[in-house]
Amino acid sequence: MEAHRLGLATATHSQGSVPIGMVLDAIGDARTEMARPGLVHRIEHCGFPTDAQIARMAQLGVVPVPQPVQLHEHADTIVDDLGPVGARFYPYGAFARAGLPVVISSDAPVTDPNPLRAAWAAITRESLSGTIAGPEFTIDRRTALAGITRTPAALLGRSDVGVIAPGAAADLVLLEESPVTAAIGALPRIGVTETWIGGELVWSADPGEAVRGP
C-alpha cells in the first residue's frame, strides 16, 4: 500500500495460489484506494496460479515474471509431488490467452541465463525426462522471442532496448543462426558470433576481428 501510494512499482516473489492471492488482494486494495493505471506491479515466479487469479491479474494490471528453465529442470519432480496441479507451474499459455505480457526471466544465477534456452523451455515446456508439462500452457515462438526482448523492455519503460530501431541503444548480439527460422530444438544451442555495445564491436568469435578495447 505504501509503495503504491508513493508511485513505486513492486515486484513480489510468490509461488502457489495462496501467496499469489495475498499479493493480488493487496494490489486490489491499493487500486481501490488510488487507481494509478500507469503503475505496473509484478509477481516474480508466479507458479501455480488459478485461472481466476490469472483473470484478476489482467484486471488489476499485474504482470507475472516466471522462469521457464526452472520448469524444464524441475517439472518432473513437481508433477510427481503435486500431481496434475504441478503442470500449472509457470502457465505461460494461460497468461498469453488472458492478454497478460509474456515475460521470460532466468532468475540468474539460479538457472542458466541463456535467453534462447529460456525461450525454448517456454515454447516446449519439455522436462528433463522429455515429458511435456502442461501442453496447454505452451506459447508460440514469436511470443517467446518477444518475451526475452521487447516485452520485458517495455515493462521496464525502456524504449531504447529490446528492439532494433533508430534511436535504440545498438546493443546487439549476432548469432550463428536465426532464432526466427531455426528448428525449435536448436534454439538452446545457437551460439553468439559477435557482441556490439553502443554500436561498437566489443567481442568476436573470430580472433582476427578488431574489437574495442576495455
Which DSSP string corresponds to 29-49?
HHHHH---TT--EEEEEEES-
Report residue 73 as a C-alpha cell. Answer: 529442470
Is this prediction's pTM over 0.75? yes
Question: pLDDT-derived band of residue 209, with 50, 70 and 90 as boundaries?
Answer: confident
CA 85-88-92 angle, to 5 degrees, is 170
The model's confidence at residue 98, banded by pLDDT at 50, 70 and 90, is very high
User: What 8-state DSSP symbol labels residue 202?
Assistant: E
pLDDT tens digits, one per residue of 74-92: 999 999 999 999 999 999 9
Report whether pLDDT(59) > 70: yes
**41-47 vs 11-15, strand pairing mode:** parallel
* Closest CA relative to residue 65, chosen from 93, 104, 26: 104
* Per-residue pLDDT at 53: 98
Domains of the chain and CATH, by start: 2-159 (3.20.20.140)
Helix (H, G, I), strand (E, B) or coil at 204: strand
Helix (H, G, I), strand (E, B) or coil at 92: helix
- Provide the percentage of residues in the chain whose pLDDT is more than 70: 99
At 3-48, the pLDDT tens digits run 999 999 999 999 999 999 999 999 999 999 999 999 999 999 999 9
- What confidence tier does 210 reach under pLDDT thresholds 50, 70, 90? confident
At residue 107, φ and ψ (nearest 5 deg) are 55, 30
pLDDT-derived band at 213 (thresholds 50, 70, 90) equals low
Half-sphere exposure of 198 (CA within 13 A, CB side): 3
Report residue 50: phi and psi, to 5°: -80, 165
Helical (H) or strand (E) element with 192: strand 192-197
Q: Which residues pair with 201 in a beta bridge?
A: 196
